[in-house]
A and B are shown apart, each in its own frame.
Chain A
Amino acid sequence: MQGAKSSLGIILFPAFDWSISPTHPEREERLLYTQDQLKEEGLFDIEGVDEHKPGVATREDVERAHFCFPEVEAVATRSHMVAAGGTITAADLVMTGRHKRAFALVRPPGHHAMKVVQGSRGFCNINIEAVMIEHLREKYGVKKIAVVDTDCHHGDGTQDIYWHDPDVLFISLHQDGRTLYPGTGFPADCGGPGALGRTVNIPLPPGTGDEGYLMVMERIVLPILKDFAPEIVVNSAGQDNHFTDPITNMNLTAQGYARMTELLKPDLAVLEGGYAIQGALPYVNLGIALSLAGLDYSGVREPAYDAVKHRQRPQLAEYIERLCDTIPNVYFHPPAEPQDGFVTTTDAGDWFVRHKNIYYDTDDITEAQTEELYLCGACRGLLKIVSRTTKNPACLGIEIPLHACDACRSLGYSLYEEAQVKEGYRYAQFINRRDKEYLRHGF
């Protein structure tokens, strides 16, 4: 057997003792057949391909990415901490030079988890990519990172976390929000005032197959990545675009996934969704792993594959071509003003304000949120979020960003102190990334 051309570390953590509920798609059995397939193929005997045990994320690892109300332990189970820890292990494997690439085959997934976490939405509690990215920044000082989310569902959580971050480029390929959960992710949604064009949404029509996905990769994703020139490329490798997936309507094959991975060349891949656990995941994961390792994947073929039946309809190519003509403008020529908020002026200065209503479908919680970003010319700006849900009364989150200026830093402290004095909030969480200070109040 030939050795891997790009050495690959795989963190395979199927969490065989955890499920959302016994018959939920996110259950114990989900990665069972994938594990069987990878073992039977002898993947881990290939020189340069190694299996690693995941670490366990700490509260601080999570708090770098999220405001958790009432607290991290209340919204994240041990399985979430292990899945997040798995992505951190993956990042460490690559950053320490142990492997060229790493693939975190962990569950549960995370890309629907937003900046504020009050419960589970879209089977996600903790955004495991965000935890990984913040670890990359905190521990290794990585500056520019691109996340390409190829899950069939819009990665609305990752989008929300990096909405105001010009150093994290977020590109999501997904089934059009008009036809699938979570119903968002349109090209007009392209980032906050300081990061316009750093969120790129590519909604694809139901029925899109290998041809369409590869066209989008070549004509939209790769040119943007080339221009952005990130230090690290992360792939949120959801596998629910597969033609057998029970909850989506796409036509991607294992070959298509492998080819897409070959084009994208991600440094780090993280498993997201994908619930065709027998007919798709074993083959898709094998294809992705071989492709990441630079090995021949041409023999990977799912038994249910039918070249005629699973071909993309010709009409779709035209539609997707039109997307390829227009969407790159989102990045290369973003609008001058953000569309989804307004600016208010206070004594302290100008704030960009967004109101959001968020539904946590898995936990049936409704959240009303007001997000305010201090429009600071010197740094990314202080972030303040007030969140109310059907479960918790008003909660406050204040974040002093990495590399914050002195003004934002002192403004953050004074707002937090003020909030404690007035006691208007049930819970308040204070995150100071600049000085690595994480405070909580009201618990």
Chain B
Amino acid sequence: MYLGIDVGGTHTDAVALNEAGVAAQVKVKTDQTDLLASVNQALRGILETVKPEGVRQLNLSTTLSTNAIVQGTTEDVGMLVIPGPGISADEFMLCRDYHVLDGTIDHRGSETDRLDERQAQAAIKACRAAGVRVFGCVGKFSTRNPLHENTMRQLLGADSDYVTLGHELGGRLNFPRRIATAYFNCAVWRVFNDFATAVEKSLAELGLGHVRVNTLKADGGTFPLAQARRMPVQSIFSGPAASVMGIIALCDITRDSVILDIGGTTTDIAVFVDGQPLVENDGINIGSHPTLVRALKVRSIGIGGDSAINVLGEAVRVGPTRLGPSLADSIPAGAGLPVNARPTLIDALNCTGACVHGNVDASRRGVAEFATLHSIEPGMLAEQAVAAAAEAIYKATQELLAEINDKPVYTIHELLEGRRVAPGRVYLMGGPAKAMQESVRQRFELFTVVPEHFGVANAIGAALTRNTASLELFADTEKGVMFIPALRHRENVPRTYTLADAERDAMNHMLAHLSEMGVFADRDNAQITHASSFNMVDEGRTTGRNIRVKCQIKPGVAFTLNGQPPVQPASRTTGQSLRRATGQPAGPPTGKTGGRG
């Protein structure tokens, strides 16, 4: 049995499932001040149906690290950066204890200026005096040569709780992002580790001590909790990825498609190419800081079921503001409307007959009042609001596709022969998915699919998401060095080392690393995503090869539920009916363990 828990901003969703289908599902309200309590509550709900000994794996997606950053409950980090020449490192100062040190590594990984160790010692001393216990050491081009970062770790010695070295974050180039990523990794390190320890303790108490625990990442994969303890920054913003992976688990996607996750406040848009989710080129932004945290390419727009309807001149719009829940959800049956009640998208959908959700009468009255206020016929207002929502989603999708198709490429072959992404299907999920299906179909003029279980696709995605891993290899045969930054692996290679050797080494190191962590990774899911080799020439002679290889375990799910019977009889006993009555798709399923407040 696989367990998936998605701790979201509003709800915590949990499911237990196996190849036969979903065995149990729970939805509880998230207590933002005590995420552990929400996780425990969800687990207990699941264990009402499922026996602990049958559970093999728990995948956890949490907003813990994100919350810590947003709420400012992170700890002080000592940042020791070694920029060398270029854009002034003062530009990237993101915390108080930020020290810029002298020393230079160039783009080939040659040390062109020694690290100033006395300056470094002084900086460390200053940080310690300020009470700093965690440190990030980041050098420009440390992914080509980690010498300075490694020296910094030695200088820090044993007297610090945790140290993040820039090159351990992966081999991609981008010094400012490396600084920000190292910083956030340190900043949430303690809060994440405390949480992980508490979760492990709870699991032991609930008889789930034997369960393998994975944490979700934003790139549509998971990594073992032990690994997450070292790289907690990777667990950030995993929510949208859980939903996208849910769609993969529920539908057999094989071609270019658009995925729309329509929630209460936002719609997340993702694009699949040949049935594979696209990963962001660079990484996500945390606050205003771009990072190296890999993520699925997901565009969020402020259109959701609870988005308020506006009238601006002649134009009817929806969102991006959310003024609380819809009238259908907030007005008890028979009660009157408050003054200036603002209808939302859900209310409009109730009026057009696209759904029958909550207090339909309140929706009708609210839309009618609002329409009168703006001298529009109520039916027309509702229709235009729904059309406006579909239009906004369509426009954002087109922009995302344009961005994907206009992504810079660096070879003539890719530029001239590169294929354009042209989605042929739209998959919808989230609360209002079913209600929006028809208007989305009309606007996109594409075949639309709303899978069963679409309301808890996120938790299903969390449960079934596989481990992913990625790494970059860099080799310079003139220097005779091969380096895999993420694994801190550096070895000497002969001058005859070729691109094929590098590809093989990259794959083998990645799979070996996974197996060391106790993860079984199918070689079939491993792929080389970039491989290039350049002859380096000096005075007309070839002096060596500059080789770069990237490989990854592609995102995927353990198995799909497509065509499986949707509900096992056992789950009904918890009242978690997945098969909802037709015409009532907009609300989340309610059960005895939770529900909307």
Contacts and interface: CB of A to CB of B under 8 A. Distances in A.
B176 A42 contact: yes
Interface string A5-21: 00000001111111000
Contact of A29 (B86, B91, B537): B537
Contacts of A54: 415
A299 interface: yes
A23 B174 contact: no
Interface residues of B, number: 42
A42 B87 contact: yes
Interface string B332-346: 000000000000000
Interface stretch (B115-123, B235-243, B406-414, B462-470): B406-414
B86 A41 contact: yes
Contacts of B535: 22-23, 27-29
Interface stretch (A96-104, A160-168, A278-286): A278-286
Contact of B88 (A29, A51, A298): A298
Contact of B107 (A17, A33, A51, A78): A33
B177 interface: yes
Contacts of B266: none
A75 B385 CA distance: 57
Interface stretch (A147-155, A171-179, A300-308, A372-380): A300-308
A284 to B, nearest CB: 12
Contacts of B412: 15, 17-18, 78-79, 82
Name the residue among B88, B408, B546 with the largest chain A CB count within 10 angstroms: B408
Contacts of B92: 1
A282 B107 contact: yes
Contacts of A440: none
Contacts of B88: 296, 298-299
Contacts of B87: 1, 41-43, 286, 290, 295-296, 299-300
A17 B411 contact: yes
Interface in A289-340: 290, 295-296, 298-303
Contacts of A13: 408, 410, 415
Interface in B102-126: 104, 106-108, 112-113
B104 A303 contact: yes
Nearest to B532: A16
B86 A300 contact: yes
Nearest to B542: A23
Given A36-B107, A40-B175, A53-B409, A299 B86 contact: yes
A2 interface: yes
A423 interface: no
Contacts of B282: 45
Given A15-B411, A45-B176, A33 B85 contact: no
Interface in B138-175: 140-141, 173-175
A282 B407 CA distance: 22
Contacts of A420: none
A51 B408 contact: yes
Residue of A33, A51, A246 with most chain B CB atoms under a 10 A cut-off: A33
Contacts of B559: none
Contacts of A79: 412
Nearest to A11: B408
Nearest to B106: A303
Interface string B513-544: 00000000000000000001011110111100
A240 B54 CA distance: 70
B416 A14 contact: no
Given A17-B411, A17-B412, A54-B415, A303 B536 contact: no
A17 to B, nearest CB: 4
A15 B406 CA distance: 16
A77 to B, nearest CB: 8
A98 to B, nearest CB: 12
A291 to B, nearest CB: 12
A392 interface: no
B480 interface: no
Contacts of B408: 12-13, 51-53
B284 to A, nearest CB: 12
B325 interface: no
A35 interface: yes
Given A28-B535, A51-B408, A79-B412, A1 B91 contact: yes
Contacts of A298: 88
Contacts of A40: 86, 107, 140-141, 173-175
Interface in A24-75: 27-29, 32-33, 35-37, 39-43, 45, 51-54, 56
B108 A14 contact: no
Interface in B50-92: 83, 85-88, 91-92
A37 B175 CA distance: 10
Nearest to B418: A53
B113 A17 contact: no
A174 B518 CA distance: 63
Contacts of A56: 415-416
A36 B476 CA distance: 14
Interface in A111-167: none
Contacts of B224: none
A32 B535 CA distance: 11
A39 B87 CA distance: 12
Contacts of A39: 173-174
Contacts of B540: 23
B157 to A, nearest CB: 29
Nearest to B142: A40
Contacts of B104: 303
A20 to B, nearest CB: 12
Contact of A283 (B85, B174, B175): B85
Contacts of A283: 85
Which of A14, A15, A53 counts the most chain B CB atoms within 10 A?
A: A53
Nearest to A278: B108
Given A22-B535, A29-B536, A36 B409 contact: no
A17 B537 contact: no
A138 B91 CA distance: 42
A301 B416 CA distance: 36
Residue from B87, B175, B537 with most neighbouring chain A CB atoms (10 Å)? B87
Contact of A16 (B141, B411, B541, B542): B411
Interface in A246-297: 246, 278, 282-283, 286, 290, 295-296
Contacts of A33: 107-108
Contacts of B566: none
A23 to B, nearest CB: 5
A35 B532 CA distance: 14
Contacts of A302: 85
Listed from nearest, the 4 A-B pairs whose CB atoms lie closest are A303-B112, A42-B176, A301-B85, A39-B173
23 contacts: A1-B87, A1-B91, A1-B176, A2-B91, A17-B411, A17-B412, A23-B541, A23-B542, A28-B535, A29-B537, A33-B108, A40-B107, A40-B175, A42-B87, A43-B87, A52-B406, A82-B412, A278-B106, A286-B86, A290-B87, A300-B86, A300-B87, A301-B85
Given A40-B174, A41-B176, A53-B407, 6 more contacts: A17-B413, A32-B546, A278-B106, A283-B85, A299-B86, A303-B113
